[in-house]
Structure 1
Amino acid sequence: LEKRREIIRSIRKIIMSNLEEISKLAVEETTFGRVEDKIEKNRLAALKTPGIEDLEPTAYSDDNGMTLMERAAYGVIGSIIPSTNPTSSVINNGISMIAGGNSVVFNPHPMAKKSSCFTVSLINQAIVKAGGPPNVLCAIGNPTIDSAQTLMKHPKIRLLVVTGGPAVVKVAMNSGKKVIAAGPGNPPCVVDETADLVKVGRDIVNGAGFDNNIVCICEKEILAVSQIADKLKEEMIKNGAYELKGEQIEKVTKLVIADPGKPGHER
């Protein structure tokens, strides 16, 4: 565990030293998001992803003796990385999986393979520098749908960690392996009359605008009680929100929603 602690400390350091480079590379390669927000995402992943501190052993004792429970590694983990978070997902998965004593094979998104693989190489450098073995993390250089399916079906992959759209998550869930998956999110904000509307208006706009709203946990919709709805809109507009009206609503709806929901056809 102490060696893992040293390795994770080294990983955090090398990522912090390359924040701007990996963030720029992710935006240039995918054309998604904003560099300044990617920097904050990568910083958060580097500094706040839990390490070995979550691996405390648990002991039970009674008249019949003592039971000691310690968490064991899975071994080799297969990880699918999305184009929306091609570097921060590698950082987060890498640190947490190494903390558990695992090695990882990443299948990056084809649109983001350069930035994901570069991040993997940085982490491997940090591992070796801290006295760990080479190539604890590996990535497929030319990822495809076939390579992802091969990874999911490989007999020596004991756990799948998948971040992506509903299609890839569905394939992973049907793989017969244990799966930790995160698909698309649609987080609502619920605002009632007790809210600090000045703060709420600012926070919703900042959250929804973060990295151009490509992050699945960013605010996507608002449910507001009627007595504060107009005031909330005013505060959001003050912070840069734009209110659609009339034909604009219909045009934008057709542009961004391919299959609108309706009673009996929820989406």
Structure 2
Amino acid sequence: MDDTATSKLPESTIEAHTTIEEPEAGDAAVVGECIAAGETAMTEITDYDQSDADDLARAAAWGVYQEDHAESLVETTLEATGLGNATDKRPKVREWVKIILEDALDEPSVGRIPCSDPGVVEIAKPVGVVGGLVPSTNPVSTVANLAILALKGRNALVFSASPAGLPPTAEAVGYIRAELAAVGAPRNLVQVLPAPASKPKSNALLDQADLVQVTGSAANVRAGQASGTPNYCVGEGNPVALVDTGADIERVAADTVDSAAYDGGTVCAAESCAVAPEAVYADLRTELAAAGGYRCDAAATDRLRETLFPDGSGPDRAVIGRSAPDLAAEAGIDVPDGTTTLLVEPTDTDTDPLVTECLSPVLATLSVPDFAAGLDATERILDRAGAGHSVAVHTDDRERALRAARRLGVCRMVVNQPDLNSSGLADNGLTPSLSMGGGTWAGNQLAHNLSCREFIQTTRVAFPVESDATDDATVFAPYTEGANADTATDG
């Protein structure tokens, strides 16, 4: 790695900031100790006002944002997980965290909050101790994201990391705890379960937390949703770039290649597929190649498929998150310098695993007769993998974009942008977040980008107001005097 190493917190300091001495009573007891410590910490901030809560969120962000901390966290993440690259991880730890903080600071989360309902006063309160499962694909920024949002609502937070993700998670939590102490807040507002990381500990956390947030593997998301604990779990990514004939093909290609390759393809909002009408398909492939894509022939595509999906199921953990040249070399494919993305043409969108989330810089491209057929193909792809998540539509026709929005079962659609922007980390009005729900399409309770609103609950106080009741004729006239007049009767 050519990045200059920077100093970390001493191991003893990180240990003191992140773990509670593990009792011998088993995994449930270990988790119980952390939950109890979080509850105690919450009692110490009961009287915090909005300004105090905002400072908690700032402390969480600043803990990882500081340049020396960020550099160390990037290095630790790469050493521990082997996923992605330093160039793309730096903005995830700094710029993205800053954007998320800025958005959260605009939201009221303590005491009386704005309410437009007549006679109603709404009082915001914490949800409790939040359990967060951290993915190894994106550990540090996930920790910062959740810590900002949970602390903004005056909650405590306990993280559970994967074995590979534990070192960067522990380091990030250590920095955050140090900043909490610096502002006079209890360190135990943020904790991580002690080593060794394990599924039993994660499952115990899912069971004992007041609220669960899971960003990560499909197995962890299913566990979170089946835990019986209120939860905001997120859907599987597999975004499609749907291209129209009037799109700026050169821009589309540059945006899509950059997005698909971002941090080794490990971001859930990175495009997996591009669907284009045959009238512009050849031009799109040419521009994708000019932007850094390598067009795999049938033999190379077969080798890549065997490398990524050796048993035909999910992508092989040993090869995901690599650069395009490294992945190509693993598959025995020679690619030229400057290659950032591997372009493949799938054999069958209904069965080829290369049309699912590869967690790698791989982009499947598909030619269709026209935009209507593109909608059909995009719907099939998303129904198979990535339901509810996101789609990027590239068109010069606003009505076609809205037509796609009405048709496709996704919670977010970006227009003339890379799908990476569906995370809201760009100027498009979406809530910036690294956790993106897929609604009932994905079996999620969350149908938008995770925000601090999910980490408060409210008491709505209703005072009497003057009645504004209307007569029956006013309420039912559109029905009784309209198309249904012949069938409407007064029982």
Count of residues in Structure 1 that have an aligned counterpart in Structure 2: 262
State the secondary structure of the residue aligned to 1:176.
coil
After superposition, residues 50-129 of structure 1 pair within 5 angstroms as: 50-55=103-108, 57-60=113-116, 62=118, 66-129=119-182
State the secondary structure of the residue aligned to 2:115.
strand
Is residue 2:98 matched to residue 1:47? yes
| TM-score w.r.t. length of structure 2 | 0.51
> What is the letter of the counterpart of residue 11 of structure 1?
A
Mapped to 1, the partners of 2:58 and 2:384 lie a distance apart of 46
Q: Which moved more, 1:9-18 or 1:180-189?
A: 9-18
Mapped to 1, the partners of 2:114 and 2:260 lie a distance apart of 41
Shift of 1:61: 6.5
Shift of 1:90: 0.1
Cα shift readout 1:182-241 (whole Å, capped 9, x = no counterpart)? 243111111111211111111111111110101111111111111111111111111110
Shift of 1:127: 1.4
Mapped to 2, the partners of 1:266 and 1:190 lie a distance apart of 16
After superposition, residues 1-267 of structure 1 pair within 5 angstroms as: 1-17=50-66, 18-49=69-100, 50-55=103-108, 57-60=113-116, 62=118, 66-142=119-195, 143-154=197-208, 157-257=209-309, 258-259=312-313, 261-262=350-351
Q: Which moved more, 1:38-47 or 1:95-104?
A: 38-47
- Bigger Rg, which one: 2
Shift of 1:256: 2.3
Shift of 1:266: 5.1
| TM-score w.r.t. length of structure 1 | 0.91
Shift of 1:165: 1.2
Shift of 1:85: 0.5
Shift of 1:113: 0.5
Tell whether the 8 Å contact from 2:133 to 2:159 is kept in structure 1 after alignment.
yes
Mapped to 1, the partners of 2:115 and 2:261 lie a distance apart of 46
Mapped to 2, the partners of 1:162 and 1:127 lie a distance apart of 24
- Change in 2 beyond 3 A, CA 1:186/1:169: same
State the secondary structure of the residue aligned to 2:295.
coil
Tell whether the 8 Å contact from 1:86 to 1:109 is kept in structure 2 after alignment.
no
> What is the letter of the counterpart of residue 85 of structure 2?
R
> What is the letter of the counterpart of residue 162 of structure 1?
V
Cα shift readout 1:153-199 (whole Å, capped 9, x = no counterpart)? 11xx2110001111111111111111111243111111111211111
> What is the letter of the counterpart of residue 174 of structure 2?
S
Give unpaired runs (5+ residues) of structure 2.
1-49, 314-347, 353-382, 386-491
Task: Provide the identity percentage.
Answer: 23
Mapped to 2, the partners of 1:255 and 1:40 lie a distance apart of 30
Mapped to 2, the partners of 1:223 and 1:70 lie a distance apart of 47
Shift of 1:60: 4.8
Q: Which has the higher helix share?
A: 1
Mapped to 2, the partners of 1:61 and 1:237 lie a distance apart of 54
RMSD: 2.1
- Change in 2 beyond 3 A, CA 1:191/1:68: same
> What is the letter of the counterpart of residue 2 of structure 1?
S
Tell whether the 8 Å contact from 2:63 to 2:172 is kept in structure 1 after alignment.
no
Cα shift readout 1:121-173 (whole Å, capped 9, x = no counterpart)? 1111111212222221010121200000111111xx21100011111111111
Shift of 1:251: 2.2
> What is the letter of the counterpart of residue 92 of structure 1?
N
Give unpaired runs (5+ residues) of structure 1.
none
State the secondary structure of the residue aligned to 1:59.
coil
Mapped to 1, the partners of 2:162 and 2:270 lie a distance apart of 21
Tell whether the 8 Å contact from 1:79 to 1:162 is kept in structure 2 after alignment.
yes
Tell whether the 8 Å contact from 1:78 to 1:159 is kept in structure 2 after alignment.
yes
- Change in 2 beyond 3 A, CA 1:52/1:246: closer
Mapped to 1, the partners of 2:57 and 2:220 lie a distance apart of 29
Mapped to 1, the partners of 2:165 and 2:351 lie a distance apart of 35
Shift of 1:53: 2.2
Partner of 2:344: none
> What is the letter of the counterpart of residue 135 of structure 1?
N
Shift of 1:7: 2.6
Mapped to 2, the partners of 1:112 and 1:27 lie a distance apart of 10
Shift of 1:94: 0.5
Mapped to 2, the partners of 1:6 and 1:234 lie a distance apart of 50
